[in-house]
Structure 1
Amino acid sequence: MKNMFTYDLMETVRNTNQWLGATAQALGSYPAMSAHPMAPWLKAWGEVTERSFSRMVVKPAWGIPTITGADGRDHVVRVMKMVEKPFGDLIHFKVPGREPRRRRVLLVAPMSGHYATLLRKTVISLLPDCEVFVTDWHNARDIPVSEGKFDVEDYTLYLVEFMKALGADLHVIAICQPAPLTLAATALLAEDEPDAQPRSLTLIGGPIDPDATPTEVTDFGRSVTMGQLEQGAIQQVGFKYAGVGRLVYPGLLQLSSFISMNLETHSEAFQSQIVSAAKGEAEDNDRHNVFYDEYLAVMDMTAEFYLSTVERIFKNREIARNAFEVAGRPVDIGKITRVAVKVVEGEEDDISAPGQCYAALDLLTGLPREKKAAHLEPGAGHYGIFAGKSWRNNIRPLVLKFIDENSDAPPARKGMRPQIVSVNDTPPSNEAEPEPVRQDGSTPV
């Protein structure tokens, strides 16, 4: 499948369905059709179909609402690039006119088929109390082949550079897929530049040891060979995008696997939305659209990143065995001796099941017991532990408490003047949030 034909075929199918939806919506809206009993249903089907397929190739906006300061005034939130790299940027959610917060938090976003905007609600929940920074990964289809490769080692080195750029008065929260690589990046800093280490590291639902508690994801990774995976999953970007010729694991292929895991649930959700639209009860920012506008927006991963994740993190368990290497150099997680580490798991997490992330604590042989912490959230699924009700009501307060207990940072720096790239000052018109089933923030294999 490693050719442009299959990549362009998927894009053609997506584009055709978007066109069919737009056409049906237009036909159902004609005045001459208004008397026909099927007209509202045709229009509703077209509306839902066109919106769904059009969202698949659009990066969602951050849409961060204004923040009310201690002075009672609303402050806009500016999205600013601090470090720009070919495969991802380090961005800062700056709140002008507000005193910088002492808590400085780097959210390491997953590169698993969705954009970093998957963490929008996580960012919103932290902004009142923290200076928030996020790793904003780029869509591989838009990166020219001339920029070279990007695999798990490159990802790790990006994290090292981002953490060094932010300084030691930093607290890192790695969510899902990047947890093992963030642990490795921290170990590199511990050995090379101890003064650049973060003060705390929180690992949320990540596959540190995928075999600790097997799931469908890990079972699939063990059953398929790398040759089969490369032949069946890797495609070549077509001429439509700047990354023409680059080998990728396509976001559309990833999305099909996401949906197939819970096909019945998704089918019922779309049927219900069509019924609501036909009755005139659907809204532009209702619960369904808020969720699926994000869920359906997928990005391509470089082939080398996807394949190396499967082979080295899941199959060979290099992090779990403390046998990971970067540029031929061993990374010893036991070198971490002063970074406080907390692991958070969800009792009902069927992507990174309980035990997979907890394995990190056993690898930290040089870290004192009092610097280790763990939390298992009862009844929480994968999405809930970083953006759902469980995060808001229970986990977020615990993480902030953990940060404060391990924070002896100097006053927040006021000299940072990153370039302003964009301003998102329009709050979402609906704050309602569905509790989705199996929202995949970790790398499926």
Structure 2
Amino acid sequence: MKNLATYDLMETMRNTNQWLGATALAFGSYPITGMMPNPFFQLVSAWGEVTERSFARMVAKPDWNIHSVVCEDGRDHIVTVETEVSRPFGDLIHFRVHGREIKKRKVLLVAPMSGHYATLLRSTVASLLPDCEVYITDWHNAREIPVSEGKFDIEDYTLYLVDFLKHLGPDANVIAVCQPAPLALAATAYLAEEEPKAQPRTLTLIGGPINPDAAATDVTDFGRRVTMGQLEQFVIQRVGFKYAGVGRLVYPGLQQLSSFMSMNAEKHAKAFNEQIMRVAKGEAGDHDKHNRFYDEYLAVMDMTAEFYLSTVERVFKNLEIAQNKFTVNGKQVDIGKITSVAVKTVEGSNDDISAPGQCVAALDMLTGLPDEKKANHLEPGAGHYGIFAGKSWRNNIRPLVLDFIDANADDGGKGKSKVAKLKSV
């Protein structure tokens, strides 16, 4: 699998399907087809439109599309995305809201590196912007990073978080979503020993696999069944000639996407069939529910091979975080050294990716942290996506997280904004 031609073949197949969709759309849209009463041409055109859009999205990085936010004064304020720290494999970016005072709540969203871009958290960012200064980790697509930039594994990921937290200062509040939750915990523990004053004020871990063995899911079962040799042999490829990262070993985003889709194949097939019928009937829109979801879901990025393999081996197989044996640059990171950072875990009762029990395991590992600085919330009926971007997040979890941040602020929450008070009720 580790040859450039294999990667290019996969890209060729994607490109061909995009071309077939565009061809079908053009063919079915000829004016002369309107003279024929048979709906065949409408269906051909609709299939082409949906197919072209779907395969085109797979190689496009989505925009943030957060242009303004309504603040306490009731006015729209312009939002710009500014890079605070630029690194080869990922940046720290800030959503600057113009024309308002700087908010006391400084939030760092740690986005997952699991096949999708950080824009997967767009709605999470938008929900926090009215009441917080929001920063996020914007990870880069590995296929665009030259081999000369070197490796990037979970230790490097952890050190990136360490650097970002040093840049933000001790008044930062970290919210880590899914995959990076264990590494955000490790980065905080690393700072507790190396530079205690740079630790964040609070750490919220949402649906993360702190201890994958605490509750089995298809993800953890896969990690047990497959050997590291099998993974390296069958899923790792070299970036093809088209991209700047030519020759870099990666876990391709398209391969990850096929795994995502296969987990709920019937659901996705039904969604696309229904969308084709809506397009054929003229009922679909450019930004309808289907397109909003799949424009993001289908946009995938490659991960470096060393990051993917080290995550599977060290987090899921060897349980280094769960057993407090994780090392960075040869130095063990002791979770028990965290003594002052308030930690909250959030889980969804219907989460089939990181099942309840996996994330809350972090609290038992924090042996040096007083109980009054620990908190947990289990959201009834919520799945994985819902606990950070869905209705459960907006209506229930977000207010709880903001309250948790305020309760552990220097002023004990007395200085929180009027909007935050209203939204926390």
Q: How many residues align?
A: 411
- 1:409 deviates by 6.7
CA contact (8 A) 1:187 1:335 kept: yes
Question: Aligned ranges for residues 46-445 of structure 1 at < 5 Å?
Answer: 46-408=48-410
Deviation sequence 1:40-66 (CA, Å, 0-9, x none): 111100000000000000000000141
Which stretch of structure 1 is more off in the superposition, 164-173 or 67-76?
67-76
Q: For 1:409 and 1:309, locate their aligned partners in 2 and report how far apart those are by CA, in whole Å.
A: 38
- 1:104 deviates by 0.3
Q: For 1:337 and 1:13, locate their aligned partners in 2 and report how far apart those are by CA, in whole Å.
A: 52
CA contact (8 A) 2:406 2:412 kept: no
Matching residue of 2:20: 20
Which stretch of structure 1 is more off in the superposition, 247-256 or 3-12?
3-12
Deviation sequence 1:205-231 (CA, Å, 0-9, x none): 000000000100000100000000000
SS of 1:310 mapped into structure 2: helix
Q: Residue 30 in 1 paired to residue 35 in 2?
A: no
- 1:185 deviates by 0.2
SS of 2:174 mapped into structure 1: strand
Which stretch of structure 1 is more off in the superposition, 65-74 or 219-228?
65-74
CA contact (8 A) 1:169 1:409 kept: no
Counterpart AA for 1:224: V
Q: For 1:71 and 1:352, locate their aligned partners in 2 and report how far apart those are by CA, in whole Å.
A: 39
CA contact (8 A) 1:209 1:319 kept: yes
Q: For 1:258 and 1:68, locate their aligned partners in 2 and report how far apart those are by CA, in whole Å.
A: 35
Counterpart AA for 2:68: T
Q: For 1:283 and 1:69, locate their aligned partners in 2 and report how far apart those are by CA, in whole Å.
A: 29
Instruction: Tell me: higher relative CO, structure 1 or 2? Use CA pairs within 8 A at least 6 residues apart.
Output: 1
Give aligned-pair identity as a percent. 75
Give the ranges of 4+ consecutive aligned residues of structure 1 lying more than 3 Å apart after TM superposition.
Answer: none
CA contact (8 A) 1:115 1:136 kept: yes
SS of 1:278 mapped into structure 2: helix
SS of 1:78 mapped into structure 2: strand
Q: Say what the alpha-carbon RMSD is for the aligned residues.
A: 1.1
- TM-score, normalization by structure 1: 0.91
- 1:312 deviates by 0.1
CA contact (8 A) 1:28 1:34 kept: no
Structure 2 alignment gaps of length 5 or more: 414-425
Counterpart AA for 1:211: D
Distance 1:347 1:232, change over 3 A: same
Q: For 1:86 and 1:51, locate their aligned partners in 2 and report how far apart those are by CA, in whole Å.
A: 30
Counterpart AA for 1:268: K
SS of 2:189 mapped into structure 1: helix
Structure 1 alignment gaps of length 5 or more: 412-445
Q: For 2:165 and 2:276, locate their aligned partners in 1 and report how far apart those are by CA, in whole Å.
A: 46
SS of 2:116 mapped into structure 1: coil
Deviation sequence 1:98-133 (CA, Å, 0-9, x none): 111000000000000000000000000000000000
SS of 1:214 mapped into structure 2: coil
Q: For 1:68 and 1:51, locate their aligned partners in 2 and report how far apart those are by CA, in whole Å.
A: 32
Counterpart AA for 2:222: F
- 1:67 deviates by 1.2
CA contact (8 A) 1:123 1:132 kept: yes
